[in-house]
Structure 1
Amino acid sequence: MTTIMPGDKNLRNAIAWIEERRHKDPDLKKLMAQAATQFDLTPPEELALARFYREEAVSR
């Protein structure tokens, strides 16, 4: 299955960061909050991050 990555560099970096840590810490909401701070995501980027993981969950 192919996942389409968002075009925004901060968002791509946040997703990569989350995916690196997800196997050790399954608390996705916590990881998303940490990534938002770590990568200084804007509110629209945070919404896109939430949408990305919501769509991922639906496609499983």
Structure 2
Amino acid sequence: MEAGGQQLDASPPREAQVAFACATSGIQHHCFTGPLPHDVLAAASPASGSKFPSPTR
């Protein structure tokens, strides 16, 4: 496994419960579990010294 994958595995689990209106099925409820988008971007960012800035919170 690559270093980025290890960083995501070490990230604390996050959970978000969402509800949204579906045009054909009415209100839908879902629970999403996993890393935050920032955690994914941070793990995927190039090594330090890159010309691209790291994502910020």
More helix by proportion, 1 or 2? 1
More strand by proportion, 1 or 2? 2
Q: Normalising by structure 2, what TM-score?
A: 0.34
Q: Normalising by structure 1, what TM-score?
A: 0.33
